[in-house]
Amino acid sequence: MLAIFETVAVTLWLTLDNIFYLLNFSYIGIAISLGIFLYVKKYKNARRIAQLLVGLYMLVYLGFICGENMQIEGFWYYLFTGVFEAATIHYAVAKIFGPLLFGRGWCGYACWTAMVLDFLPYKVPEMSRKEYGWIRYIAFTISLVFVSALFLAHVGNIERIMFWAFIVGNILYYAVGIMLAFAFKDNRAFCKYVCPVTVFLKPMSYFSLFRIECDKSKCISCGKCKKVCPMEVDVTNNSRKRKNGTECILCFECVKNCPKDAL
């Protein structure tokens, strides 16, 4: 994992002639590798450590201190200005092309929204899943229309607006995320129904190289893996079309709880 991040870090540093990318992706790679190392050493909060190290760095340092809008509005903004930096690079690596390799690892190990939601009491959903996934497309469209309107109306100082959109957007995400978690007794309800980023994440992670697979010769169909899954993935089905397959955040809770090491 560290080698993958270092490859990205060095490539961007040399091609864009900016040492920030070397430091940025090295830090993220080290944080995630540390999480994996602690997981291998059976430390129970390994994933949360990586999530806090990366999430806080992106929210506080890149967002609040450097003033970069790393949310989806920032992605549209940089895309429309034709600049391949900040949020466009972040989206390309973590949310559009990266998921072909590591699926929704972003959602398990780095997202600053989920970093807070994962502290809430419903780590495993206590209510059945609702058919509200369509809301994500509305959120996605609103973000796109909002930034397009700023460009079409030739609004001045869009960069400043983007900074404030980042602050307000995050407050909104946290408020809605916490509300939904309690309403549906599910910490990850926001991820399942509202998050606009999943419009990119879900189709790309369908093809993910890294995924949890079940060794049918070991599995005794005890169902423990499904009981502990925060995303309700039908993990014993190895098909790419398995139920909620594109929701897997690679948290390894199923792997940790399988009594037969079948996953």
What is the contact surface with ligand SF4 in residues (CB under 6 A)? Answer: 107, 111, 113-114, 190-191, 195, 197-198, 212, 214, 219-225, 228-231, 233, 235-236, 248-254, 258-260, 262-263
Closer residue to ligand SF4 in complex, CB, 13/31: 31
Kindly write down the DSSP assignment for every residue of 116-185, as one continuous string: HHTTSS-SS-SSPPPS-TTHHHHHHHHHHHHHHHHHHTT-S-HHHHHHHHHHHHHHHHHHHHHHHHHHTT
Q: Which is nearer to ligand SF4, 13 or 106 (CB)?
A: 106
| Shortest CB 35 distance to ligand SF4, Å | 14
Q: Shortest Cβ distance from residue 247 to ligand SF4 (Å)?
A: 7
Least gap, CB of 15 to ligand SF4 (angstroms): 26
CA distances from 184 to 19, 93, 130, 132, 234 (A): 44, 31, 9, 11, 20
Least distance in angstroms from the C-beta of 52 to ligand SF4:
14
Encoded tokens for 180: 């939904």
Written as six digits, the tokens of 217 are 């010769």
Instruction: Name which of 29 and 125 has its Cβ closer to ligand SF4.
Output: 125
Q: How is residue 247 annotated by DSSP?
A: G
When the beta carbons of 13 and 90 are compared against ligand SF4, the nearer one is: 90
The nearest distance, CB 155 to ligand SF4, in angstroms, is 27
Q: Which is nearer to ligand SF4, 2 or 255 (CB)?
A: 255
| Residues 45 and 71 sit within 8 Å (Cβ to Cβ) | no
